[in-house]
Amino acid sequence: MTGLDIRIVEHALQFKKPAGTSRGTLTEKPSFYVVARDLEEDGRIGIGECSLIPGLSPESAQRARLELKKLAASGTLDPKSMSLQYPAVRFAAETALIDLLTEGTGTLFPGPFTEGRPVPINGLIWMGDVADMVGQAEDLIARGFNTLKMKVGALDFEQELECLSAIRAIAPANEVTLRLDANGGLDDEDISVTFGKLERLAKFDVHSMEQPIRPGQWKKMQAICIGSAIPIALDEELIGVHDTDLRRNLLHLTKPDYIILKPSLIGGLIEANHWIDLAEEVGAKWWATSALESNIGLNAIAQWAADAILEHPAPLPQGLGTGSLFTENIPSPLRVMQGTLRMDTPAAPLNGTPQRWDYARILS
């Protein structure tokens, strides 16, 4: 789409409280908004978000800043012509374009979700000590979540087992589904050590284990997918794999039970759809997860995911409940209620045009 006035707004997201991850503790993260105004359609505006996770996103904040500056200077949104080496930049351009093409209302994928139908999501337990993590689990259960996701592999393993035992005491397997995410933290030169840990973790009736070993070890991952006591989900493994044949080879070799789709890390929604098509060839299921976007990016991913699972009678809970993490988030119609993500009805019209976002605040 050409003939656009494109502005880039840099907006660092501040966490309400330090967020413990396997890559360290985050207090803030880089984020940029792509705000595109159509000069030929009554000033219609489309917005997308470039959200980065330091240490995980393929592009640095500096690189993203340069690529976004080029995008603004071009006056054009053409995601397919953009390099997949900068997936978050491409996702921002793609979602800004979709927003423009759907009349700039923030309703990118009109349908049941945007009309109020909820999408199930998992509750995330952030890393901490045992008491803190069990407390988080209690709070999530009280808020109606029946699927919990917990990080493992970064703390003392015996301590993590103690934590899981305490969580299962308040969240029995017949009531609460438990997902684990190792972010490569169970990797060991001796694969039998990894298998031993997976076997001990399996005793807690675990639904799935995301990325047990570091990415890029396809033959080792193949062995783990075959022999693991817990169903395996590929996550970071998908990042940077752009070629169709390579993607197909990865999935056909490892045959994972699940894949995890983070559009900001794999190049956007078109690329996520491509991964889904390839996963179906090997019988792998999927769910979407945010890359800790603000409500702008979360809105786009949630609508896409809801549209993609529309026909599924029992969709897997998505990993999309991160909008409340930040102090300076953009007000949004997204609401987390009883373990689901819901969308309010569209906001009141702005200057006679239905809009979801406070553009004056975004551009200030």
Contact between residue 33 and residue 271 where contact means Cβ atoms under 8 Å apart? no
Whether 151 is catalytic: yes
Burial class (CB in 10 A: 0-12, 13-18, 19+), 175: exposed
Burial class (CB in 10 A: 0-12, 13-18, 19+), 332: buried
Distance from C-alpha of 313 to C-alpha of 148, rounded to nearest angstrom: 21
- Of the candidates 29, 151, 220, 255, the residue annotated as catalytic is 151
Strand (E) or helix (H) holding 219: helix 218-227
Dihedral pair phi/psi, residue 122, rounded to 5°:
-95, 155
Total Cβ atoms within 10 A of residue 54: 14
- Of the candidates 29, 149, 197, 262, the residue annotated as catalytic is 262
Contact between residue 92 and residue 68 where contact means Cβ atoms under 8 Å apart? yes
Whether 69 is catalytic: no
Residues labelled catalytic? 151, 262
